[in-house]
Structure 1
Amino acid sequence: MTLIKSIATAVTLALLSACGAPQSIAVKSPPITETLRIGFSSVEVKDVSLPSYAAADEIAQQAPDGTMITSDVLWADAPERAIGLELSRNLARLTHKRVAAEPWPFEEDAAATLAVRFTDLVGGTDGIYRATGQYFVGVYEGRERSGLFDLELPYDAEGGPTAIAAARGQIILNLTKYLARKGLQ
């Protein structure tokens, strides 16, 4: 039965490829080798806000004149959902605290909420991947805060969607570390 399922899957994939079904790529999280301390026992990561080109299914790259060049390769998951989950997963792995993406799955409210609004999240044809925006930390007991972030990461601009996906994974991890150090202390 397993052999039949394998053959059926292979035939389905071959037919989809022949019909011009677009390819998609998933972002893999880079390894986490450190632990960071934060000032909260639990954090709810709110849905992220992305510019329309970054929220689109098509992978985009920005030319020096600001033009967005889209690929025929798609993100494997909706970018807003995927980035929110990446932030929460990275934060949980870095801090070893109770962290979850919205909606909060636990009965007791989180000690803090984290909202991230991106102004830019794109790899440039110049070989720099940029993430800029603002973050907001809501606290049930204590001082609420907000701040700006402006991160850059060199990447292989000629590497296509695979390089862009790897750069996005790394810059989201870098942003998670930044938020842990600056916003969640």
Structure 2
Amino acid sequence: MILRPALLLVLVATLSACGGTVERYATGAPVVEEELPRISSRYRTVEVRQMSLPTYAASEEIATRDETGAIVSDKTTLWADEPARAMTLELSRYLGTITGAQVAAEPWPFLDRASVIIDVRVEEMVADADGAFRISGQYYVAPDSGNGGRSGLFSLAEPIRGEGASAIAAARTAVTKDLAEQITRSGLR
């Protein structure tokens, strides 16, 4: 009886040693505040709901589309944080910097309600074989009053400058900044 647990322990240790190194990549350095435009918003407080991503993009594996159109990923090359959470926080930071409004990702951390809620639903988010990071989908801007809601489509691409996952991460940061600008110009003014 004692031999079985010992054998199991040896087997687990052996399998653990066979695994390759996992590399995790955080998004690129945030855009410097001075590089962002200043755009006024009609709303003082903004809540950003967690972004909805397609299954392959929500995974911690970094997805790429190859020349055949297949979306592939490598189990050893991962995002440093859950993509939906990380992108929601990044979008919130950019919206706050651009508008000067009080912006927070859900759940809303303040006692009073936000004057508007932003909901972003992504249809496609992938590093493409042509050297661009692409994101497309729809966003919704829902005021607390229930009046004046807006929605819009987005289809953004940012060149991947360099090779590998760190270049893809930098392009994802840039495209998230572009999305924040589009939402501000079209949905928050």
Alignment of 1:120-131 (within 5 A): 120-131=124-135
| Residue equivalent to 2:77 | 73
Secondary structure of the corresponding residue to residue 90 of structure 2: helix
Measure the CA separation in 1 of the matches of 2:171 and 2:151: 25
Q: CA RMSD in A?
A: 1.8
| Residue equivalent to 1:39 | 42
Measure the CA separation in 2 of the matches of 1:17 and 1:83: 33
| Residue equivalent to 2:23 | 23
| Residue equivalent to 1:5 | none
* Counterpart code for 1:163: A
Cα offset for 1:107? 0.5
Q: Deviations over 1:73-120 (max 9, x none)?
A: 110000010011011011111111100000000001000000000011
Q: Does residue 1:87 correspond to 2:91, yes or no? A: yes
* Counterpart code for 1:61: T
Corresponding residue to 2:109 among 105, 108, 124: 105
Measure the CA separation in 2 of the matches of 1:18 and 1:170: 37
Cα offset for 1:69? 2.3
Aligned length: 169
Q: Does residue 1:182 correspond to 2:183, yes or no? A: no
| Residue equivalent to 1:155 | 160
Alignment of 1:111-150 (within 5 A): 111-141=115-145, 142-150=147-155
Measure the CA separation in 2 of the matches of 1:53 and 1:120: 9
Flag the 1:101–1:122 CA change in 2: closer, same or farther, 3 A.
same
Tell me whether 22-31 or 168-177 shows the greater mean CA deviation: 22-31
Q: Deviations over 1:121-142 (max 9, x none)?
A: 1110111211100001111223
Q: TM-score, normalised by structure 2?
A: 0.84
Q: Structure 1 unaligned runs (5+)?
A: 1-15
| Residue equivalent to 1:164 | 168
Flag the 1:121–1:17 CA change in 2: closer, same or farther, 3 A.
farther
Secondary structure of the corresponding residue to residue 175 of structure 1: helix
Q: Does residue 1:59 correspond to 2:62, yes or no? A: yes
| Residue equivalent to 1:4 | none
* Counterpart code for 1:177: E
**Which protein shows a greater Rg?**
2
Measure the CA separation in 1 of the matches of 2:184 and 2:96: 10
Q: Structure 2 unaligned runs (5+)?
A: 1-15
Give 4+ residue runs of structure 1 displaced > 2 Å after superposition: 16-21
Q: Does residue 1:50 correspond to 2:53, yes or no? A: yes
Measure the CA separation in 1 of the matches of 2:118 and 2:67: 32
* Counterpart code for 1:122: V
